[in-house]
Amino acid sequence: MPRTIFLVGLLVLASACRAPDPGSESSITTSPASSTTAAPTSTTLPATTSTTPVTTLTTSTTTTTLAPLSGYDLTELASQLSRPTFVTAAPGSSDLFIVGQKGRIRRLGPDATEPEIVLDISDRVGSLLGVEPGLLGLAFHPDYAANGRFFLYYSDIDEDTVLSEFSTIDGVMDPDSERVILQFEQPTNRHNGGMLAFGPDGYLFLGLGDGGAASVHSQDPTTLLASMLRLDVDDGDPYRVPPDNPFVGSEEGADEVFAYGLRNPWRYSIDHEDRLIYIGDVGQDRFEEVSVISVDEPGHNLGWIAMEGTACFQRACVPEEYTPPVLDYSHSDGCSITGGYVYRGKAIPELDGTYFYADWCGSWVRSFEYVDGEVTEEKDWTDEIGKVGQITSFGLDHDGELLILTTEGFLYRLDAVR
């Protein structure tokens, strides 16, 4: 496996946590208005020994006995990717879709030797305006196999943030099918968030950072910034606000806001089985953090800028007023968290319920289990898989297997050795 680290300057993550936040405020204009109602190459790393017993995997139709687990390796699925930011699978397809910061999406089939470009909107994406802007998020509609709808989050050439819907027509992703769902200005070209995901309730979630103006926006839910938004994209024009969003009908916050108090939730994920949202929030000076909130409990204030991790960032902070992270770590151990996924695949049932995350600066992968409100089974994966590289994103394939995407342009899958 190629192990060379290429120090890529154009990175979405690292600068997201280093530069001080400007204090000036920029207006945020929302447009349009919402409708509101109440065979790949296998590269094997040395496997570790294990005394794990034989595992029995039971599905609704079959029972399979797996050999004892002796270790893990990484299978290289792709390399030489250009500024990759995200990878995911589409419902009803075994293909992987790799998002590039410059505005291109590549598809990697199960038997392909290299990915092919299937969508190019680079003419409208402002990926050269800084290290963080560009095409940052992709989510396929849960019924994509039937309706062909998918959603993109990007920074346009005017530095506005854009959430748009596109269509796949006759198997082709159509760049001319764009329908803008949400568009607004950013105070700066930093801390833009960018993750999109559908929850088990069928609503679309969008994670937004503070726009580099933390003192202005992070504790103000009347702005869309520094928040998790939740939208019903199956109703309304261009969307409907779910009636149980916490600020619907209130002047205390924007209708679209589901939770707030975030600095830069670059990558989060939603575990549909336990109905929990795992948010990796990039820190400022001292701490990186993972917050876990329920899909069924809107309205959490996650603390930034009053708190960073479990520590007060401002002198007047009262920790009891905020929802604390379930885990944080100091900048002696990293500097830019990359949130991951809870493993729910079938190939490694020993990992069921394990949440993976990484640090871009530390180049490490770690995991834990979240059980009854407590973090358990914490693990550093360096002994098993080594220093993978500067991890920009995790992903899941169509079988729920864990994918790892690096700034150096590599895409890996975590596999078991039996």
The CA-to-CA distance between both ends of the chain, in Å, stands at 20
Give the position of tokens 């992703």: 173
Q: In this structure, what token pair is assigned to residue 158?
A: 């005017």
Residue 53 has pLDDT above 80, yes or no: no
Q: What percent of the chain has pLDDT over 90?
A: 78
**Distance from C-alpha of 355 to C-alpha of 106, rounded to nearest angstrom:** 27
CATH code of residue 121: 2.120.10.30
Confidence of residue 318 (pLDDT cuts 50, 70, 90): very high
Residue 374 has pLDDT above 70, yes or no: yes
What is the model's pLDDT at position 56? 60
What is the model's pLDDT at position 271? 99
**Distance from C-alpha of 95 to C-alpha of 115, rounded to nearest angstrom:** 10
| 187 part of a folded domain | yes
What is the model's pLDDT at position 17? 43
**Distance from C-alpha of 191 to C-alpha of 210, rounded to nearest angstrom:** 6
| Average confidence score pLDDT of the chain | 88
**Distance from C-alpha of 359 to C-alpha of 349, rounded to nearest angstrom:** 25
CB-CB contact of 331 with 285 (8 Å): yes
| Segment 253-270 mean pLDDT | 98
Q: 172-176, long-range: CB within 8 Å, 24+ apart, which pairs?
A: 172/118, 173/105, 173/118, 173/119, 175/119, 175/120, 175/121
**Distance from C-alpha of 418 to C-alpha of 413, rounded to nearest angstrom:** 16
**Distance from C-alpha of 304 to C-alpha of 281, rounded to nearest angstrom:** 10
Number of domains in the chain: 1
Greater confidence, 381 or 159?
A: 381
Confidence of residue 55 (pLDDT cuts 50, 70, 90): low
What is the model's pLDDT at position 62? 66
Q: 104-113, long-range: CB within 8 Å, 24+ apart, which pairs?
A: 104/135, 105/135, 105/138, 105/173, 106/81, 108/77, 108/78, 108/411, 110/39, 111/39, 113/40
**Model pLDDT for residues 326-344, shown as the tens digit of each residue:** 999 999 999 999 999 999 9
**Distance from C-alpha of 121 to C-alpha of 104, rounded to nearest angstrom:** 6
| Segment 174-184 mean pLDDT | 97
What is the model's pLDDT at position 189? 82
Going from the C-alpha of 47 to that of each of 41, 72, 223, the distances in angstroms are: 18, 6, 49
Looking at the DSSP bridge assignments, the partners of residue 63 are 58
DSSP string, 12-51: SSGGGGTSPPP--------BSPPEE---PPP--PPPPP--
Residue 380 has pLDDT above 60, yes or no: yes
**Model pLDDT for residues 71-86, shown as the tens digit of each residue:** 999 999 999 999 999 9
pTM of the entire predicted model: 0.87
Residue 35 has pLDDT above 50, yes or no: no
CB-CB contact of 92 with 77 (8 Å): no
Residue 296 has pLDDT above 70, yes or no: yes
| Segment 157-183 mean pLDDT | 97
136 phi/psi in degrees, rounded to 5: -115, -25
**Model pLDDT for residues 350-361, shown as the tens digit of each residue:** 999 999 999 999
Q: What percent of the chain has pLDDT over 70?
A: 85
**Distance from C-alpha of 225 to C-alpha of 259, rounded to nearest angstrom:** 11
Residue 2 has pLDDT above 80, yes or no: no
Residue 152 has pLDDT above 80, yes or no: yes
Give the position of tokens 């993550």: 13
| 237 part of a folded domain | yes
- With 0-12 / 13-18 / 19 or more C-beta atoms within 10 angstroms meaning exposed / middle / buried, residue 58 is exposed
Residue 39 has pLDDT above 80, yes or no: no
Residue 49 has pLDDT above 60, yes or no: no
Q: In this structure, what token pair is assigned to residue 27?
A: 């207006």
| Segment 54-69 mean pLDDT | 71
Confidence of residue 387 (pLDDT cuts 50, 70, 90): very high
| 52 part of a folded domain | no
Q: In this structure, what token pair is assigned to residue 81?
A: 């990717």
| 31 part of a folded domain | no
What is the model's pLDDT at position 260? 98
Looking at the DSSP bridge assignments, the partners of residue 97 are 88, 107
What is the model's pLDDT at position 60? 57
**Distance from C-alpha of 231 to C-alpha of 245, rounded to nearest angstrom:** 9
- With 0-12 / 13-18 / 19 or more C-beta atoms within 10 angstroms meaning exposed / middle / buried, residue 8 is middle
Domain extent for 104: 14-18+39-47+73-417
What is the model's pLDDT at position 31? 43
| 162 part of a folded domain | yes
| 81 part of a folded domain | yes
| Segment 202-214 mean pLDDT | 94
Residue 363 carries which DSSP code? T
What is the model's pLDDT at position 61? 61
| 296 part of a folded domain | yes
Going from the C-alpha of 390 to that of each of 46, 316, 378, 407, the distances in angstroms are: 20, 36, 21, 6
What is the model's pLDDT at position 43? 40
| 172 part of a folded domain | yes
Residue 27 has pLDDT above 80, yes or no: no
